[in-house]
């Protein structure tokens, strides 16, 4: 007799949602940025409305996104989303995935996601690259261009093996056992110790408390079309 057991979360929408704590689609027309990672949406570990985001007054809703709509950010003090405290913390495994659209060259670095003096994702103006992870951070090796969507992914194993992916492909590896300290997290700007915010669009962001596999990163990239985890 076979002992094969079907993972119910693997086939609820086609992607294994285990471990995903927050998932933002940026499709709201007003109000809060809604965390869609709920048990009702087949996310077994999602934190739900505890991480709905408070949107700053300079963020523009309803821009075209990689999937549906996105939010547009304008590199000023009111262009950010506060997504609350302690999505993840500690030294354990985690993963992060986001779609970014860079639409203006700038001399300023930009905090994209992170908080409490730890940026999980940044834009580095001097190199035109994205830097992911808390410390040590791992940069993409591909320089980014203007006016196109790119997917950035970062994973850390329970043993501290860290990987940065760009558009579904592995680009950098390292070791990371740095503690993620508690505190508020932000998207698009207002990340402590990062002077400037992002100028461009953001879409389809998730944070998980597990190390996503290379195959899962490939699935999320979906040949450049992105993957709707609610479909």
pLDDT at 7: 47
The pTM of the full predicted model, rounded to 2 decimals, is 0.92
Q: What tens digit of pLDDT does each residue of 47-87 get?
A: 999 999 999 999 999 999 999 999 999 888 888 999 998 89
Examine the pLDDT at 169 and tell me if it is beyond 90: yes
**Please, which pLDDT band fits residue 12 given cuts at 50, 70 and 90?**
very low
**Please, which pLDDT band fits residue 2 given cuts at 50, 70 and 90?**
very low
pLDDT at 118: 79
Q: What tens digit of pLDDT does each residue of 183-215 get?
A: 889 999 866 555 578 999 999 999 999 999 999
Q: What tens digit of pLDDT does each residue of 96-143 get?
A: 999 999 998 877 888 889 876 678 999 998 999 999 998 888 999 999
Structure tokens at 139: 């940069």
Question: Three-state DSSP class for 101?
Answer: strand
**Within a 10 A sphere around the Cβ of 177, how many other Cβ atoms?**
12
CA dist., res. 142 & res. 30, Å (int): 34
């Amino acid at each position: 007799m076979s002992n094969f057991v079907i993972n119910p979360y693997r086939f609820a929408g086609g992607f294994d949602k285990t471990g995903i704590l927050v998932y933002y689609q940026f499709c709201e027309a007003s109000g809060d940025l809604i965390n869609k990672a709920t048990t009702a949406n087949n996310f077994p570990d999602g934190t739900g409305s505890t991480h709905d985001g408070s949107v700053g007054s300079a963020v523009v809703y309803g821009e075209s996104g990689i999937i549906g709509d996105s939010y547009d950010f304008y590199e000023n003090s009111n262009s950010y989303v506060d997504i609350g405290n302690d999505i993840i913390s500690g030294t354990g495994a985690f993963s992060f995935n986001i779609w970014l659209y860079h639409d203006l060259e700038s001399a300023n670095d930009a905090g994209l996601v992170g908080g409490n003096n730890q940026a999980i994702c940044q834009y580095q103006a001097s190199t035109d690259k994205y830097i992911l992870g808390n410390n040590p951070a791992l940069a993409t090796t591909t320089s980014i261009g203007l006016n196109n969507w790119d997917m950035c992914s970062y994973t850390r194993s329970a043993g501290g093996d860290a990987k940065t992916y760009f558009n579904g492909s592995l680009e950098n590896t390292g070791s990371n056992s740095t503690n993620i300290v508690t505190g508020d997290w932000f998207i698009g700007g207002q990340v402590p110790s990062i002077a400037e915010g992002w100028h461009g669009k953001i879409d389809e962001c998730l944070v998980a408390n597990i190390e996503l596999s290379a195959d899962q990163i490939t699935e999320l990239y979906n040949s450049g079309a992105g993957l709707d985890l609610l479909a």
